[in-house]
Amino acid sequence: MFKHDVQLIKDLILRNLRSQGLETPLLQRRLLAAWPQVGGVIAQRYTTETFIQNQTMYVRLTSPALRADLSMRRSELVRRLNEQVGEQVIADIRFI
């Protein structure tokens, strides 16, 4: 009888991405793609740009009122975005 070292494909892919330095950019891309779902329809309508720099997500909004409203819910939005990705990708979110 043969003994096989069985590994999940998910684990092999993640190990390969880590070794090539691609895991973090992939997680950041997934987090940015989750913004419309987490921010909601209204936030999506007024969002013109999103990007991540130094574990901070920046969201450019065209509505000052929405910017103020979302700023008060920053910690909740950070938690929900990280939950969508399944890892701690960002530590803060800023609305500009």
Query: Over the stretch 85-95, which tens digit does the pLDDT of each residue have?
Result: 988 999 999 99
Prediction pTM value: 0.79
- How far apart (Å, rounded) are the C-alpha atoms in residues 69 and 46? 13
Query: Over the stretch 14-44, which tens digit does the pLDDT of each residue have?
Result: 787 677 766 788 889 999 999 999 999 999 9
CB-neighbour burial class of residue 21 (10 A; exposed 0-12, middle 13-18, buried 19+): exposed
